[in-house]
Amino acid sequence: MSKFAFPLLFAILSTAGSLALAQTRKAPADTESHRVAAEPLPGMPPILDPKDIYAADRPNELSPVVRGFVSRIYVPNTVSNTVDVIDPATYKVIDHFTVGKLPQHVTPSWDLKTLWVLNDKGNSLTRIDPKTGAKQNTIPVPDPYNMYYTPDGKYAIVVAEQRERLEFFDAQTMQPKHELWVNCKGVDHMDFSADGRYLIASCEFGKAIIKVDVARQELIGRLPISPGGMPQDVKTSPDGSVFYIADMDADGVHLIDGEKFRQIGFLPTGKGAHGLYVSRDSRTLYVSNRGEGSISLIDLATRKVSRKWQIPGGGSPDMGGVSADGKVLWLSGRYNSEVYAIDTSDGHLLARIPVGRGPHGLCVYPQPGRYSLGHTGVFR
């Protein structure tokens, strides 16, 4: 990247977003948010099953777009500034390449055709061709800690954690369109309502969550959470009625009524609750407890913890995803320089794979689903 590229892009973003920021700098009070219209977001693909937003994610039901892609696990190493590529058939690292500084996550694009490595401190995105697994070009983007896509596929939302902003880019050209200052420290993870009309995002250092109107790109709610106060990953329930939010400080998962924007429960899971992943049958939510080296299983029908799996010898399970056939849960070992492959039938460890230092938001790809909402792979 040219030394002039980032300052120029930053200037464009600042100028383009100035009028919008004037309208959005006033954060709403810490009360219940405005109710969002029930009609689906225009342009969003049809909802296949009103009772299950993950109906398109069944085992091996790959989109025609990705059926010819190589099956790989892409691991961004935040300390090494590299990506390791694992062949899931052999549990071996088969490729390794350098990217920008502090790569946090590997994110599938909405149209499933591209993988992006989010180089947070490198202020850039590195493209991977998922057909071959090969590294391609790098483009300048400021502070890309995380990235999501609006359900209609129009915008990529770059989560600029340090700048407390959600930056909206054209999903195809990656040109900046609008930035929203959210006034919430450490904004980093999110998920969308079943109708695509709003999103709920966690603020890791703000002890709160926020609600954003997707169509208007406007902040409409802020809610402090308790116990704890270090919210992490966010996942919508299959029926869309509840948002589950992992909390590293509370050692469990908060339950949020998205429509009324209020907390309705809390489930203790384990020390350092961090990542959330839905099983291929939409019945189970896997919770990685990074601080104790375990995975808790939440029964999504009863909203109760049903089981807990311990990683033999301990570990630091962080972010990852579920294999296309649903048989393996893949998680990075953030502080152990390793990746875990866990059998979803009984929780036993299939493999512990050495990788670079600081592995974080690994991406299992391809996975079932019609389109990607981003992060390490949230598909509907």
DSSP label at residue 64: T
pLDDT tens, residue by residue, 70-114: 999 999 999 999 999 999 999 999 999 999 999 999 999 999 999
Q: What are the residues whose beta carbons fall under 8 Å from the beta carbon of 2, sequence distance 6 or more?
A: none
Q: What is the CATH number of the domain that holds 112?
A: 2.130.10.10
Q: Does residue 379 fall inside a structural domain?
A: no
Q: Does residue 357 fall inside a structural domain?
A: yes
Question: Which structural domain range is residue 177 located in?
Answer: 5-25+33-365
Structural domain tally of the chain?
1
Q: Does residue 377 fall inside a structural domain?
A: no
Q: How far is CA 169 from CA 133, 142, 192, in A?
A: 24, 12, 17
Distance CA 61, CA 325 (A): 9
Average pLDDT over residues 42-64: 98
Q: Does residue 245 fall inside a structural domain?
A: yes
Q: Does residue 265 fall inside a structural domain?
A: yes
Q: What is the pTM of this model?
A: 0.91
- Taking the alpha carbons of 368, 356, 116, 21 in that order, is the dihedral positive or negative? positive
Q: Does residue 372 fall inside a structural domain?
A: no
Q: Does residue 131 fall inside a structural domain?
A: yes
pLDDT tens, residue by residue, 247-302: 999 999 999 999 999 999 999 999 999 999 999 999 999 999 999 999 999 999 99
Q: Does residue 280 fall inside a structural domain?
A: yes
